Amino acid sequence: MSMERQKFLTELLNKAARDYYNGGTSDMMDYEYDNLYDELAELENINGCVLSGSPTRFAGYESLSGFPKKAHKHPALSLEKTKNPEDIKAFLGEEVGVISWKLDGLTLVLTYDENGRLESAVTRGDGYTGDDITASAKHIHGIPLKLPCNGRKTVRGEAVITYADFDRVNSTIADTAEKYKNPRNLAAGSLRLTSMKELADRNVRFIVFSCTEGFEEFPTVGDQLDYCSEIGFEVVPHTLVSAGSVKTFLTSKEEQVKAFEYPVDGMVITFDNAKYGNSLGVTGKYHKNAIAFKWRDTVEKTTLRAIEWQIGKTGAYTPVAVFDPVELEGTTVTRASVHNKDILEKLRLTVGDCIGVYKANMIIPQIAENYDWAKHEDYIAPMSPQDSENDKRQIDIRRLTHFADREAMNISGVAESVITALYDAGLLKKYSDFYTLSQKSENKIVSAANLSYNGLDKLLAAIEKSRTTTPDKFLYALGIPLVGRSASKDICRYVKGNIKQLTDPQVISGIISVPDIGEAMQKSLEKYFEPESETAYEFLSVCGFMKFKNNFAADPVQPNNGIKGKTFVITGSVTYYKNRDKLKDEIERLGGKVAGNVSKNTDFLINNDVLSASGKNAKAKALGIPIISENDYIAMKGAV
């Protein structure tokens, strides 16, 4: 049985590693991964066997993104980890160590040529080969493009995003399903953006944590890092420790991490004597000159009182655990997302169970374990609304409402109350039913929806008008899990607007090459467009009613105007353009970006009433952001 468990853990942790290294996100929590990893290592020791591809024997996972690959001259491997301070004392022995934060971002390797110019920036990848993101690196804060010294140099560091910038970026994302789970996911996703302006706006920072090549004149790691600071790098805070002082130091840092601006998941201890550390070499997975320390998460016991379901506007449900209040990291917590039904089943969560709750990265409440797990051998997870016929109505109505939304198919005049009435009358169950509604009895429609005949005519006219749309708006309207507005545009560019290609499994398998589309989104698309599935059939059915304006058929022409790379906010009424959406579409077509609120990252506020005392005008003036009229904007863009 232990060997079966070892096989299971190897496959499970490998999947989590693939999600983590390729997409920057994983459904498995750090707490759970660490515990299962330790269990796997123990089983390998007991069984005397290490299975092929075991995560205890490699550093990362082969990259699946569309970036060109580049081999590392020096392996960028992982570090052995421990949660026991005594292990750190034993590791140091008589040696002096350099201790620094273990930043939680995306590891990058920078190489500078003989003249001190940035030659390449490569992600860690599998430790031996990573993604070449040199073009993106030029827009990451803290990466010098030219060093004030000559000679080839290679440094390693972490691309990170502060908690403040994480909150700022997430606040601009309206769809809850598209929000980033944590700063690390945001940092990883940002480096795969095609818009360099958007990447720069997200304030990704690079912080050096080790020097690999070109620092041989400095005998200690501390001196190497100090020199990096002198030549223009931002360097991770560090200090010297010994076996006698390290335990006290770790305890003090555990309190300080709560106030640190960047996400941190532990400390790194490196031998200060660089020559000695380098002489130790590497294993297939680890650098032997350093070790990582992770604090044990504070887990508080409480009682599970309910499983609730959160519903998004596309109809996707997420289970949420509700429990007796517990104090975690200075706040009172009563709820934690369980992420999906698979985790619900894995933990066998049942009302009344004693559970352990902690805060991942000291921020996000998570369930660590269910202490009553063994009581529920024949566990059946509580049904989500989509599993229950009685509650299926609510999710269907949400999906139909999303389909008709202004940002999707833009069927004006069809409120959720009208959709609900038509649904209950059996007249509107599927997306395609919108486009066959005109064939139904007018009397039934006006009676069910409490419409006048004039109101019915307007409704049918709006439905008819919605048939002429762009492929990306149609794709977004389908409410495919994880596929938001931005992803819909990226997908449509990939298939050049011919979205019927998405029913081809080979097309879906290749879509992972599109920047910002990770494995989770690919799997979601794969499931939705599975051949002969109900959703794929409905997709093709409703496609038959559309008159697509294919704005993705040709490769986009690089705009040459004053709009490209600029961020605009639009407020007030417009006169030259039919509506603000038309103006927004043009700005995006010309390479600009439209945000909802004025911030320090806004370049221009468009408002025909430039003297208005509105809140947006006031904020723009306070930040020194130019307020321009439509005519100013038209002059700025030039001929298009």
Mapped onto helix, strand or coil, the DSSP state of residue 343 is: helix
Q: Which residues have C-beta within 8 Å of that of residue 240, sequence separation ≥ 6?
A: 96, 97, 98, 99, 222, 272
Is the Cβ–Cβ distance between 569 and 616 less than 8 Å? yes
β-bridge partners, 150 = none
CA 10 to centroid of chain Cα atoms: 25
Short-list 142, 164, 172, CA closest to 155: 142
Q: Alpha carbon of 545 to those of 416, 469, 549, 558, 636: distances in Å?
A: 22, 11, 13, 32, 39
Q: Which residues have C-beta within 8 Å of that of residue 170, sequence separation ≥ 6?
A: 179, 180, 186
Short-list 67, 81, 72, CA closest to 193: 67
CA distance 95 to 321: 47
Return the axis-axis angle of helices 442-449 and 453-466, rounded to nearest 10°.
100
Q: Which residues have C-beta within 8 Å of that of residue 392, sequence separation ≥ 6?
A: 385, 386
Instruction: Give the type of residue at 474.
Output: F
Q: Alpha carbon of 451 to those of 366, 424, 442, 454: distances in Å?
A: 48, 15, 10, 8
Query: In the numeric block, which tokens belong to residue 252?
Result: 């003090």
117 phi and psi, to 5 degrees? -90, 145
Return the axis-axis angle of helices 183-190 and 163-171, rounded to nearest 10°.
70
51 phi and psi, to 5 degrees? -75, 155
Place of tokens 């309206």: 174
Catalytic residues: 102
DSSP string spanning 251-275? HHHHHHGGG-SS-EEEEEEEESBHH
CA distance 30 to 46: 24
Mapped onto helix, strand or coil, the DSSP state of residue 184 is: helix
Query: In the numeric block, which tokens belong to residue 96?
Result: 């002096």
CA distance 366 to 363: 9
Place of tokens 């680890």: 286
Short-list 491, 493, 512, 513, CA closest to 502: 491
83 phi and psi, to 5 degrees? -115, 5
CA distance 411 to 320: 33
Q: What is the 3-state secondary structure (H, E, C) of 314-336?
A: CCCEEEEEEEEEEEECCEEEEEE
